[in-house]
Amino acid sequence: MQRSRGWPIVHLELHTNDLSGGSVFYEQLLRWRTERIEVRSDCYHALTFGGPLTGGIVDCRTPTATWLPYVEVDEIEAVTERGRRLGATVLLEPREGPAGWRSVLATSEGGEIALWQPKRRPERGRL
C-alpha cells in the first residue's frame, strides 16, 4: 500500500434531493452536459465535465446537497481499514459492482470520500 504519489480522483458525484434541478443548474452555469441513465431503483444523471474525470448526479433524498469524490485505490479493503484506524466511520463497507468495488468513509474533519478499485482486465493473451 506504499505509494509515492497520492491516488487520483476519478469520479465526482453530486448527491442531492433535486436531480433535475442539479442537472439544469450545472448545465446552465458550467455547460456540464447530463445524460439520464436508468438504474435498478431510480435514475442517475451521468455528467460530462469536458475532461478525463467522470461524474454523475444521484437522487439521494438527502437534506443537503453534497459532492462525493471517488478516489481510485489499489487495495480497497486495506485502504478502507486504514481509514477506520485513522478514525473514519465506514458508511459503506467495500461492495462489489459490475465495474469494480467501492466503499465510503466519513470524518468530522474531512467530510465524506468514496474509495474505488476498478476491476482489472487481463492483459492480452493472459487469463
Closest-CA residue to 115 (of 81, 70, 85):
70
Q: What is the pLDDT of residues 95-115, one digit of tens each?
A: 999 889 999 999 988 899 999
pTM: 0.82
What residue ranges define each of the domains in the chain, with the CATH number in brackets?
A: 9-66 (3.10.180.10), 73-120 (3.10.180.10)
Compute the average pLDDT of residues 52-73: 90
Query: Across the strands, what pairs with 67?
Result: 14
Q: What percentage of the chain carries pLDDT values higher than 70? A: 90
Helix (H) or strand (E) holding 69: strand 66-72
